[in-house]
Chain A
Amino acid sequence: MSTPHRTDRPKKQIHLAAHFPGVNNTTVWSDPASGSHIEFDSFVEFAQIAERGLFDFMFLAEGLRLREQAGEIYDLDVVGRPDTFTILAALAAVTEHLGLTGTINSTFNEPYEVARQFASLDHLSDGRAAWNVVTSWDAFTGENFRRGGYLPQGERYERARTFLDAATRLWDTWKGDEILADKASGEFLSTPAPGAFEHHDSQFDISGRFNVPRSPQGRPVIFQAGDSEEGRDFAAAKADAIFSRHSHLDDGQRFYVDVKGRLERFGRRHEDLLILPAATFVLADTDAEAVELAREIRLQQVSPATAIKLLEQLWNRDLSDHDPDGPLPTVDPSENDDLIAKGRASARSHGDRLEQAERWRAISQAKGLSTRETIVEVTGRQSFIGSAETIASTIDDFVQADAADGYILVPHITPGGLAPFVDHVVPLLQERGVFRTAYEGTTLRENLGLREPTR
């Protein structure tokens, strides 16, 4: 396979990161190789494999209420996860270089507290902290929090923007030269009242003194993962890196051009924002074996029971009596606003349900697929399938063709699923001269090749 190359520049260096797999049907917990997703040993093993592979960072997702479907706790995927900050701080003790990235949403938190936690994590990891700012907003999740309520959907990016502005103001209150700790003169601080701030906007009226002095990176690296117009603008204005689901070539290139094209409007340069899609991989000795293995994994990921649940999510109605081995339902999706699936980041991502159902029906009819087979076909997210050679060259080609600046890999086995990639694909990328052979810097920002934050 050959992809268009730009030849007027040196080869881009690829960024790689690892997503500790969690609560979705990517994770094949039923595989005998699958370990605990909650015991700390699993996180240590996962992080140390990623660090052995010289990855930029590992990533933890977040969801603040157990997911439900049709009023019942969803029980087919991995359920349960630890607290993001706590795990990342503990992992700082057992890793040396790996960036520690966590999702923390801007709706069910307050800027003072989150700024304190990230500044603390950055100190405790010697400059390896990163924050994926997400904008969850629903009342379902809100039932676990003091505010109780939620945000009107239109306000979530407004709050995210002002939240990040407030946090940034707090991080910037300490310049970094205030602590003298001069035993002889008795001056601990060079100046009175470092950390003093006032921040007033549409969401927050806060003031006082921030009590965490400036951390090694000054601020954590900022990630953004929303895909809407507003989300892309938010990333272009504020983020250092963006996650997406656009891991295929055309799709990735379109997204890349769109998002990078927005930077100038916010006074930023092309290299100020990295595009890092989430990607899965299936690796085997030969391409043919990998394709076969990928099919097996897809069937594990979409059991008959899961097929029905995924069907219900698009149709937005109870289809528990539907035969997964029969054709798609003849009844149309419900346009009801009250969703059958709750607590999913993707719950609203179906767009026009009827249109999408028609698309599924067309595919099903054209290929003669059952319900389950259709779901396997249309929800496939495996990005890179093949031998180590094939995967290495595909990733390299994609990155050189500006479909991405690198990938956040999501193995389907916890915690060891990343090891084959690290052992077999990383050396090939190194041979191609597109992946580091040692960490370049000490901080995550340095390893990502990002500039110092400006104030």
Chain B
Amino acid sequence: MSAPTPRLRLAVALDGAGWHPAAWREPNARPGDLLKPGYWADLVREAESGLLDFVTIEDSLSIQTDAPFATEDDDRTDRVRGRLDAVLVASRIAPLTRHIGIVPTVVVTHTEPFHLSKAIATLDYVSRGRAGVRVQVAPRPRDAALFGRREFPDLSYADLRSPAGEGLLRETFAEAADYVEVLRRLWDSWEDDAEIRDVATGRFIDRDKIHYIDFEGLHFDVKGPSITPRPPQGQPVVAALAHRDRPFELVGTSADVGFVTPRTAADIASITAEIRAAQSAAGRDDETVHVFGDVVVLLDETEQGAQDRLARLNEAAGAAYESDALVFAGTPEGLADLLATWHAAGLSGFRLRPAVLPDDLRQITQRLVPELQRRGLFHDAYDAATLRGALGLPRPTSRYATTEGTPA
């Protein structure tokens, strides 16, 4: 029997030992393995066993800190510090999985769109069509100092509401939109059938099917074309996390998936309205832009068990855990209720952030997923070959295609 609404989509956000700062101290945690490939392979295989649509892999250029808006790195010795490049982690695990989408985080403020475009295109080849990328801005002095090429003002989180803060957000998110535009143009710069291997004329490619992108922007110009042929999905999936106006605009203009952080069902209408307005203004009404709710999850057999776990973690961390997203501590059934309600309120999917790895990931794959399936809200099998397919997104034609693509 088919569900009344389209099934919801489910992703998990993987970060270190989990999102709670004391997660690494839990009995099942593997804090000595966070830099080992086997750790990541195990997590992503677990996620795939639960039929999840995709995983995201967190990253940052600067070292982790409890106070991301501080100018200085903190000197804490009781927290997980150190991480690997998320794109490389993603490619390392791609050949070990078959169905699940793989979406690394990348910082777009200090990196080169040309390099990233070919890296994600290659991840798409390596995973046979399961690649995405989550773009993130980093307009902070501590990130800029790692590159020494540009400077950013030293603003606190509260300062972001000041004119200087608004200006900074406008500038860096506009740059991020340019960046995504360059990614997409580079992915399109080779038409699908540019490689012809025409032995008779000796031509390996048809150069008329390879295009300069000639992008000119405020922060960078990129000539193109890509050095990497068009990837299997045509365009890998682009995602962004968004908490407020400028980021919502980026989702509307540039992304295929936006991760948002409502605290109540009532928040959802206003968030989606802002994103839809930006989408419309960008002329993308006919495209699907998924809005996923981010929720930190800590799950247990009983409500009390979950609360006790959270209390134990908070005590180990020395402070009550706070997050930009809702922190849900309860049963898988209770979480299914929440997701069902929020799904009905307008979110097409969720990116769950396991508080503790692997414990809360297993709760998701082994308890939450069956519960959602029982309710007809989640699929029973992988039925699409690509991440775009899983998200119901069509494979786009190259914007430069002069002729209709030849059928395979």
- Do the two shown chains form a genuine complex with each other? yes
Using CB atoms and an 8 Å cutoff, list the residues of chain A in contact with chain B. Answer: 29-30, 38-40, 44, 63-66, 72-73, 75-83, 85-87, 89-90, 92-94, 108-110, 112-113, 116-117, 119-121, 123-126, 143-146, 148, 174, 179, 181, 183, 186-196, 204-213, 303, 305-306
Report whether B80 and A144 are in contact in the complex, using a CB–CB cutoff of 8 Å.
no
Q: Return 29 A-B CB contacts under 8 Å, by A number.
A: A40-B128, A75-B203, A75-B206, A86-B87, A90-B95, A113-B110, A113-B111, A123-B84, A124-B88, A124-B89, A124-B92, A143-B223, A146-B220, A181-B32, A186-B78, A188-B78, A189-B77, A192-B76, A193-B73, A207-B148, A208-B63, A208-B142, A211-B60, A211-B81, A211-B82, A212-B35, A213-B35, A303-B202, A306-B202
Report whether B88 and A120 are in contact in the complex, using a CB–CB cutoff of 8 Å.
yes
Given contacts A64-B114, A189-B77, is CB(A83)–CB(B88) below 8 Å? no
**Of the residues B91, B112, B145, contact of A145 by C-beta under 8 Å:** B112
Is residue B169 contacting chain A, with contact meaning CB distance below 8 A? Answer: no
- A44 closest partner in B (C-beta): B95
Identify whether the interface residues of A are mostly helix, strand, loop, or mixed. loop
Report whether A81 and B87 are in contact in the complex, using a CB–CB cutoff of 8 Å.
no
A387 to B39, CA, bound (A): 47
Separation in Å of the A368 CB from the closest CB of chain B?
26
Is residue B51 contacting chain A, with contact meaning CB distance below 8 A? Answer: no
- A205 closest partner in B (C-beta): B148
Is residue B396 contacting chain A, with contact meaning CB distance below 8 A? Answer: no
**Of the residues B29, B62, B125, B228, contact of A183 by C-beta under 8 Å:** B29
**Of the residues A72, A188, A209, contact of B77 by C-beta under 8 Å:** A188
Is residue B94 contacting chain A, with contact meaning CB distance below 8 A? Answer: yes
Report whether B205 and A75 are in contact in the complex, using a CB–CB cutoff of 8 Å.
yes
Separation in Å of the B182 CB from the closest CB of chain A?
10
- In addition to A40-B126, A187-B77, 18 A-B residue pairs with Cβ atoms within 8 Å of each other are A80-B205, A87-B91, A93-B92, A109-B112, A113-B147, A119-B84, A120-B85, A123-B84, A126-B37, A146-B220, A179-B32, A181-B24, A186-B25, A187-B78, A188-B78, A195-B82, A207-B148, A209-B62
A80 to B118, CA, bound (A): 10
Centre residue among A94, A181, A191 by max chain B CB count within 10 A:
A181
Mask: chain B, 200-231; 1 = CB below 8 Å from A; 0 = not: 01111111001000000001111111011100
Report whether B77 and A192 are in contact in the complex, using a CB–CB cutoff of 8 Å.
yes
Mask: chain B, 81-111; 1 = CB below 8 Å from A; 0 = not: 1111101110111111000000000000011
Report whether A110 and B149 are in contact in the complex, using a CB–CB cutoff of 8 Å.
yes
Given contacts A110-B147, A183-B29, A186-B316, is CB(A86)–CB(B123) below 8 Å? yes
By a CB distance below 8 angstroms, the chain A residues around B92 are 89-90, 92-93, 124
Is residue B385 contacting chain A, with contact meaning CB distance below 8 A? Answer: no
Separation in Å of the B6 CB from the closest CB of chain A?
32
